[in-house]
Structure 1
Amino acid sequence: MTSPYARPDESALAELERLFGLVEGELEAWRARCLKAEQELVQGAGPKGKGGHPSNELIQARQRISLLESENSVLRQRIALAREHLERLRTRLHFIEEQGTGDAA
């Protein structure tokens, strides 16, 4: 049994579905480009300059990555030290609270 009533939003929903299809296609294209670029970087086949050598941009990007990785390492060490210090302070505070409670009792 079909209804004679036509939904007013049917054309808008069809248009929205069409637009989502276009967006999905664009996303697939961008994803493919990103995967290809990542694969080229991993293989060291990034943008080449004259003579088949890596371009200055690629060299600078690799240097920047190396610098950021070393900064991350230093920051991780500092965070670990801060956590240890915090744990020592927490232990002291707990001890002081216990001593204060014991004296009052």
Structure 2
Amino acid sequence: MASHYMYVLECADGSLYTGYAVDVQARLAVHNAGKGAKYTRARLPVSLLAYAEFSTKHDAMHAEYAFKQLSRNEKDALLAVASHSSFEEALEELLG
């Protein structure tokens, strides 16, 4: 069964980018090759801050959407929590 991931990148300008992938490392390489999202192409290089695994694409994209609705301060706080536990656990609290 394929895994589905929601991931968070930090761009060279300090901004965050959130996306969906089935292979996070391959997607990171695509972003850094300048062939990823238009947003990241102008903000290279990018680095992977966190990612969470989900069993369905729907769940991963739902988490991506919920993360994108947060303010930058809320995103930073969630990422800080994830540094002490897992990103999946931090997102689980967000998603309820």
TM-score (norm 2): 0.21
Larger radius of gyration: 1
More strand by share: 2
More helix by share: 1
